[in-house]
A and B are shown apart, each in its own frame.
Chain A
Amino acid sequence: MHNVVIVGGGPAGLSAALAAAAAGAPVLLIDSNSRLGGQYWRNSVDELENQNEQHFDLATGLLLINAVKARKEIEVWSEAQIWSATNDEGKNTLRVIHQGKEKIVNTANLILCTGAYDRTLPFPGWDIPGVMTPGGVQSLLKGHGVLAGKQVVVAGTGPFLLPVAAGVIKAGGEVVSLIEANKSRRWVSSFIVILENLSKIKEAFYYIKTISRGKVRAQFGYAVIAAHAADNGELESVDIAKINRNFKVKKVKNIKCDVAAIGWGFTADTSLAGSLGCKQVVAKDESVVVWVDSEQQTNIPGVFAAGEITGIGGSDLSMAEGVIAGIAAAKFVGCKVDISKAHRKRRAKRQRFANALIKAYPIKTGWQLWPNDQTTICRCEEVSLGDLKFSVEELGATDSRTAKLFTRCGMGLCQGRICGRSVVDLVAKELNVLPTDIDRISAVNRPIITPIPLGVLAQGE
């Protein structure tokens, strides 16, 4: 019997597992990937010393992964998909597909570390093969040793664009253009936070060094606003626009590329927490995150959360939160441990840096003018902006939930993970109102966590 069940094998989940096991609690770690490490320390089956190139700090990741594997108190289920989760009077039930079978896990004590994925914004041509997320380009490199293209445009906003551009160059690709929508001077107001987090600056310079070696000049205040396909239906070029501080287009030029990696920060994957009934809130960057107290506990006693799902903040913050969640969960099951002041201070320092990041890389409403009526908004169900407008103007939808029911926007296989956030903004714009927190939280409500083949259920436990 496991006392603590942890979901997610990234920086937060690994840290939580080690902290809980060190405190004496037996742990079950459930991870959807085939190898531990999450997105940040994603690795391939190749020899690990060959993989340092694509990482700033794989050493820390390996330290945690190997420590988790070495501890006999920790059992790991890899390639395990949780498709359903419920909470009933203190008992959490997870339905997991593992090794081709459905397994049912009942636990009173759970730590959710389900991470995040790239936030994307719709624009004409964003569904053409060759347009990807930066995370996608990086996972192909880190997890499979494959360079997505020869001439790559890296664009969007946020510090994550730097490692992606550096990774492409290291793998022998050309970064045709590295474009950041925000101006770098937004950082000036966060001077003190930078000083107390110098290691993060060191990381940024590590990437910048590689990028400048590739003779790439970063352009600030620009964005990709359209993509064009060749006759074969695949990406051939993108339109890059100079934008103002509200992301309104000023001047456009076209450049050739075979891959465009475009990302706008991250969206927390709170689906599992939402299914359990954990309270969710809207963060400063308008993403929906899981609410936690100072011990990383959600509003459900015994259910903890750590890492990106409690607010986007990067791997360092995720580790700090994971440690606290692991200790708190062990304490919850009766282990004699306590969260120290040092743990809390470390988390606070990294939280200040995360807050500064959110302030430095805002996403302004001007993007809502990039799509036209023909632009696909929901990629799964092929719903266009014109369809969404029709549901508001002609069918009388008064919020994004109704627009979704009229158009099937966000009701495809990804369950709105890609378009959900944008639909809330676009429908509100059409209605000439501001999205409410209720709009945003209801857009991430997913009864099924991962679609699974029905046949697997028939042979379950």
Chain B
Amino acid sequence: MSQSEIQFTFDDKTISALSGQSVGAALLAANQRSLRKTRFNKDKRGIFCGIGVCFDCLVVVDGITNQRACIIEAKPGMKVQTQDGSNA
């Protein structure tokens, strides 16, 4: 099985990913290290544990908040956004 390339968007940018890659891995490969802003201090956060344990790499995927970028698989046409606070 060879890996095909797919595209999704992060905020207003188009990001390429290999099939099977996580959203977080593809974003990091595109040099996008900050994925969200914290609720209170508005600090930037990115991938920390990389295996779905820490919930620090949260992004909004197709309108759904609190998705872990490190474990959610990138799919063609996905609309991924920076999570600002809890985005509620």
Q: Would you list the 6 A-B pairs with minimal beta carbon distance, nearest first?
A: A136-B50, A129-B46, A45-B20, A144-B25, A413-B55, A233-B44
Partner of A129, one of B19, B35, B39, B66: B35
Which A229-255 residues have a C-beta within 8 angstroms of B?
232-235
Task: List, in ascending order, chain B residues with CB within 8 A of A233's CB.
Answer: 34, 43-44
A136 touches B19 (CB 8 A): no
Main SS class of interface, A: loop
| Pair A117/B35 contact, Cβ less than 8 Å | no
Contact code string A32-67 (vs B, CB < 8 Å = 1, else 0): 101000010000111100000000000000000000
In the complex, what residue of chain A is closest to B56 when comparing beta carbons?
A379
Using CB atoms and an 8 Å cutoff, list the residues of chain B in contact with chain A: 1-3, 18-22, 25-26, 28-29, 33-35, 38-41, 43-56, 58, 64, 66, 70, 73
Choose one: A34, A129, A143, A235; the contact of B25 (CB below 8 Å): A143
A129 with B34: CB separation less than 8 A: yes
* Docked-complex contact B49 and A380, CB < 8 angstroms: no
Q: Which residue of A lies closest to B66 (CB)?
A: A413
* Across-interface contacts of A379 in B (CB, < 8 A): 45, 48, 54, 56
Secondary structure of the B contact surface, majority rule: loop
Instruction: Check A132/B50 contact, CB under 8 A, given A45-B20, A144-B22.
Output: yes
Chain A interfacial positions (CB closer than 8 Å to B): 32, 34, 39, 44-47, 117-118, 127-133, 135-140, 143-146, 148, 232-235, 269, 376, 379-380, 382, 412-414, 417-418, 451, 453
In the complex, what distance in Å separates the CA atom of A131 from the CA atom of B29? 16
Q: How far is the CA of A376 from the CA of B19 in the complex (A)?
A: 36
Known: A233-B43, A382-B38, A453-B64. Is A129-B53 also a contact (CB below 8 A)? no
**Who on chain A is nearest to B33 by CB?**
A129
A136 to B33, CA, bound (A): 13
A44 touches B20 (CB 8 A): yes
Nearest CB of A to B33, in Å: 4
